[in-house]
């Protein structure tokens, strides 16, 4: 299943929509770094840093890791991409989730795409810079409300800087783009300049409490598919791991970014832990084990829901063993004037996938609404009640039910 369109903003509102979307390889009881830890309660306030990609993370970022991991034993956060900026029918104001439920999502999704675009010249009249400021302000608003921020990165390919879709690239650029950003590659300095921009944003992202805002960062996602230039057909597992390690080390060790949790998020092709870990860069570079999944939910069947749950069970079990956080990092079903909702999509299908077989998932992220369609219904839609039932489940968490995610509990 391929992702479809990118919708630009009107009147400084980002209306970017992609329909989600997957490849394969080894494993049998050992992590890439040796024997795995099987005690799901091994995490304590005293040892939490030893399980994180950044042992020098800010206290608030450490607390976020700890609280996400602990909360996932009994609950999951509901999130949406661009919830404060993109709305069905351009009905601006409250988030569409708040329009439906009375509360904002617990998790706000954003994107570094426009922030790192070649056309962002940093001047107030520049459209891309305006998007940057809007995204930063939305992230601050989310943090000030106690919400969690997660950023993906639809990074433009490094030769022309115009697209992230391989369908819009030349064959030569598809084959050469990823290798070109690695150390020694012709576009390595270009890639570092993009990381410099990401680092600048993260190192200056502060809330009303004047503390750095913790952010979940989900780069190079859905890498098992071939619709992005970092997909499996365009880089080897070793190259993918090298790029990931360089990215973390450059942000963490060179740019001194210490308010990030790093999320590993393939699409839904992996059914075994061996295949899932085939491009895994190692425990020292990952905080969150995710999976994007649209395809298994696309026809609304119980078989697809079971398949999705089985894959999430695999991810959840790995996260327990590795003492990481597990999540469904992107999903949804896009409803438009020509595409009707799936009956029970939220309260039955998504809920079952998120809870059956004792999976422990920290959050589920739905994709963005826009003028022409929605992934999460605002009020007044034929499936709004379905979403309300899902949001009212005992395991579901919206902004109003959030615990203090940025303070370590006293135990």
For residues 21 and 178, give the distance between their C-alpha atoms in angstroms, rounded to a whole number. Answer: 20
For residue 28, what pLDDT is reported? Answer: 30
Q: What is the pLDDT of residues 45-77, one digit of tens each?
A: 999 999 999 999 999 999 999 999 999 999 999
Q: Is residue 24 part of a domain?
A: no
CB 318 within 8 A of CB 359: no
Q: Is residue 407 part of a domain?
A: no
Q: Is residue 158 part of a domain?
A: yes
Instruction: State the catalytic residues.
Output: 222, 330
Give residue 235's domain range.
42-401
Q: Is residue 204 part of a domain?
A: yes
Which neighbouring-strand residues pair with 212? 206
Q: What is the pLDDT of residues 121-168, one digit of tens each?
A: 999 999 999 999 999 999 999 999 999 999 999 999 999 999 999 999
CB 216 within 8 A of CB 183: no
> Predicted confidence band at 22 (pLDDT cuts at 50, 70, 90)?
very low
Q: Is residue 12 part of a domain?
A: no
Q: What is the pLDDT of residues 289-325, one digit of tens each?
A: 999 999 999 999 999 999 999 999 999 999 999 999 9
Q: What is the pLDDT of residues 203-233, one digit of tens each?
A: 999 999 999 999 999 999 999 999 999 999 9
Among 7-11, 126-130, 365-369, which is the least confidently predicted range?
7-11
For residues 348 and 327, give the distance between their C-alpha atoms in angstroms, rounded to a whole number. Answer: 18
CB atoms within 10 A of CB 179: 18
Q: Is residue 356 part of a domain?
A: yes
- Please return the burial class of 29, using the count of CB atoms within 10 Å of its CB with bins 0-12, 13-18 and 19+: exposed
Q: Is 279 left (phi over 0), alpha (psi -120 to 50) or beta?
A: alpha
- Given a cut of 50, whether residue 400 has pLDDT beyond it is yes
Count of domains for the chain: 1
Q: Is residue 64 part of a domain?
A: yes
The domain that holds 117 is classified in CATH as 3.20.20.80
For residue 41, what pLDDT is reported? Answer: 77
For residue 127, what pLDDT is reported? Answer: 98
Report the 3 state secondary structure along the chain: CCCCCCCCCECCECCCCCCCCCCCCCCCCEECCEECCCCCCCCCCCCHHHHCCCCCCCHHHHHHHHHHHHHCCCCEEEEEECCCCCCHHHCCCCCHHHHHHCCCCCEEEEECCCCCCCCCCCCCCCHHHHHHHHHHHHHHHHHHCCCEEEEECCCCCCCCCCCCEHHHCCHHHHHHHHHHHCCCCCCHHHHHHHHHHHHHHHHCCECCCCCECCEEEECCCCCCCCCECCCHHHCCHHHHHHHHHHHHHHHHHHCCCCCEEEEECCCCCCCCHHHHHHHCCCHHHCCEEEEEECHHHCCCCHHHHHHHHHHHHHHHHHHHHHCCEEEEEEECCCEECCECCCCCHHHHHHHHHHHHHHCCCCEEEECCCECCEECCCCCCCCCHHHHHHHHCCCCEECHHHCCCCCCCCCC
Q: Is residue 133 part of a domain?
A: yes
Q: What is the pLDDT of residues 228-267, one digit of tens each?
A: 999 999 999 999 999 999 999 999 999 999 999 999 999 9
**pTM of this structure:** 0.91
* C-alpha to C-alpha distances, 36 to 40, 46, 313, nearest whole angstrom: 11, 19, 17
Q: What is the mean pLDDT of residues 402-407?
A: 97
For residues 368 and 340, give the distance between their C-alpha atoms in angstroms, rounded to a whole number. Answer: 17
For residue 37, what pLDDT is reported? Answer: 41
> Predicted confidence band at 371 (pLDDT cuts at 50, 70, 90)?
very high
For residues 36 and 34, give the distance between their C-alpha atoms in angstroms, rounded to a whole number. Answer: 6
């Amino acid at each position: 299943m391929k992702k479809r369109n990118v919708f630009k903003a009107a009147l400084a509102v980002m209306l970017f929509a992609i329909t989600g979307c997957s490849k394969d390889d080894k494993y049998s009881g050992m992590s890439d770094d040796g024997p795995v830890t099987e005690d799901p309660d091994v995490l304590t306030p005293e040892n939490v840093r030893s399980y994180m990609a950044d042992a020098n993370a800010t206290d608030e970022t450490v607390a976020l890791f700890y609280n996400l991991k602990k909360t996932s034993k009994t609950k999951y956060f509901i999130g949406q991409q661009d919830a404060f900026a993109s709305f069905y029918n351009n009905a601006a104001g409250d988030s569409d989730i708040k329009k439906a439920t009375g509360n904002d999502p617990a998790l706000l999704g954003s994107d570094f795409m426009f922030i790192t675009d070649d056309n962002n010249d940093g001047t107030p009249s520049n459209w891309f810079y305006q998007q940057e400021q809007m995204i930063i302000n939305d992230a601050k608003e989310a943090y000030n409300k106690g919400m969690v921020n997660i950023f993906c990165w639809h990074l433009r390919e490094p030769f022309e800087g115009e697209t992230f879709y391989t369908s819009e690239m030349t064959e030569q650029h598809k084959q050469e783009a990823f290798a070109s950003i690695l150390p020694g590659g012709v576009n390595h300095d270009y890639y570092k300049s993009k990381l410099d921009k990401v680092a600048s944003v993260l190192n200056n992202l502060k809330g009303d409490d004047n503390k750095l805002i913790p952010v979940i960062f989900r780069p190079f996602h859905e890498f098992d598919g071939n619709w992005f230039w970092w997909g499996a057909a365009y880089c080897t597992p070793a190259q993918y791991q090298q790029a990931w390690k360089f990215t973390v080390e450059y942000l963490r060790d060179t740019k001194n970014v210490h308010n990030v949790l790093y999320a590993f998020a393939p699409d839904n092709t992996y059914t075994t832990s061996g295949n899932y870990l085939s491009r895994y860069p190692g425990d020292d570079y990952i905080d969150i084990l995710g999976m994007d999944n649209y395809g298994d939910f696309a026809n609304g069947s119980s078989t697809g829901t079971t398949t999705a749950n089985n894959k999430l069970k695999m991810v959840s079990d790995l996260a327990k063993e590795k003492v990481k956080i597990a999540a469904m990092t992107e999903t949804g079903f896009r409803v438009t004037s020509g595409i009707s909702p799936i009956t029970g999509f939220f309260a039955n299908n998504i809920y079952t996938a998120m809870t059956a077989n004792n999976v422990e998932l920290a959050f589920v992220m739905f994709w963005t609404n826009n003028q022409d369609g929605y992934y999460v219904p605002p009020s007044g839609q034929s499936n709004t009640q379905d979403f309300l039932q899902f949001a009212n489940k005992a395991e579901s968490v919206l902004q109003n039910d959030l615990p203090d995610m940025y303070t370590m509990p006293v135990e």
